[in-house]
């Protein structure tokens, strides 16, 4: 369900399970990253995800205030109590994607809540490389927004052999935030949202059907 991190009991349960086996390697990586310059440490990946078994990763710009910082949940998740997370949750569901299959990450994983500089994007390359190494089932990299796409270009310049060897499919689309989808033209707003839906439909074809879809076919 969207916005579940607004429930203190649910949030506490996720926190208690942040080192469960399926997410422990990823969250130990987060621990190792620590703080960077004046930025706060990255939020953990919530254990509601499939963790190291995830077939897809979604890269956005940087952790928002509902994920990191003193008021955040401490997690990257589409269950955070904010509009971007809820919108992403809805887009995934509309494309028939189980949100648990799409591991969240950021071009600049540390908490700054602002647009990363090129230097900061470059600092996120090696953390992304380590994350990819932890995901043997990874097939799709979803790049939401210009900063994520710029970070991926920097990644390919340094580690293009990794992407080629793993046959990773990188798909680009708009950031799901309200700001990124706003435009004076209603037609343009609808076009941007349709681009996200179309991109996720392509991703769904690679990721495969959800458990619910498989059950409905039996």
pLDDT tens by residue, 41-73: 999 999 999 999 999 999 999 999 999 998 899
Structure tokens of 38? Answer: 């004046």
Q: Residue 83's closest CA among 204, 187, 182?
A: 182
Cβ neighbors of 100 (< 8 A, separation 6 or more) are 48, 49, 50, 54
Average pLDDT over the chain reads: 94
**Spatial separation of the C-alpha atoms in residues 139 and 21, rounded to whole Å:** 21
Which domains are seen in the chain, by residue range?
4-217 (3.40.470.10)
pLDDT greater than 50 at residue 5: yes
pLDDT greater than 80 at residue 209: no
pLDDT of residue 216: 46
pTM, full prediction: 0.94
Q: Between the CA of residue 48 and those of 37, 97, 114, 174, what are the distances in Å? A: 30, 14, 26, 24
Across 116-120, average pLDDT: 97
Between 21 and 183, name the one with better pLDDT: 21
Across 180-205, average pLDDT: 95
| Contact indicator for 50, 59 with CB cutoff of 8 Å | no
Cα torsion through 191, 179, 89, 136, rounded to 10: 90
Within 13 Å, how many C-alpha atoms sit on residue 154's CB side?
21
| Contact indicator for 23, 49 with CB cutoff of 8 Å | yes
Give the angle 40-35-24 at the CA atoms, nearest 5°.
100
């Amino acid at each position: 369900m969207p916005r579940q991190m607004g429930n203190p009991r649910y949030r506490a349960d996720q926190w208690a399970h942040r080192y469960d086996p399926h997410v422990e390697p990823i969250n130990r990586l987060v621990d190792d990253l620590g703080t960077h310059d004046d930025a706060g440490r990255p939020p953990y990946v919530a254990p509601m995800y499939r963790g190291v078994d995830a077939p897809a990763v979604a890269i956005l710009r940087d952790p928002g205030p509902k994920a990191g910082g003193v008021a955040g949940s401490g997690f990257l998740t589409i269950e955070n109590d904010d509009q971007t997370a809820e919108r992403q949750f809805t887009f995934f569901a509309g494309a028939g994607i189980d949100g648990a299959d799409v591991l969240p990450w950021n071009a600049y994983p540390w908490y700054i809540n602002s647009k990363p500089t090129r230097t900061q994007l470059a600092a996120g390359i090696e953390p992304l490389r380590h994350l990819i190494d932890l995901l043997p089932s990874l097939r799709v990299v979803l790049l939401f927004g210009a900063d994520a796409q710029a970070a991926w270009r920097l990644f390919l310049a340094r580690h293009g052999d990794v992407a080629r060897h793993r046959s990773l499919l990188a798909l680009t689309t708009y950031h799901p935030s309200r700001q990124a989808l706003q435009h004076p033209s209603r037609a343009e707003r609808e076009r941007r949202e349709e681009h996200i839906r179309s991109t996720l439909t392509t991703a769904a074809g690679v990721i495969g059907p959800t458990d619910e879809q498989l059950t409905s076919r039996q």
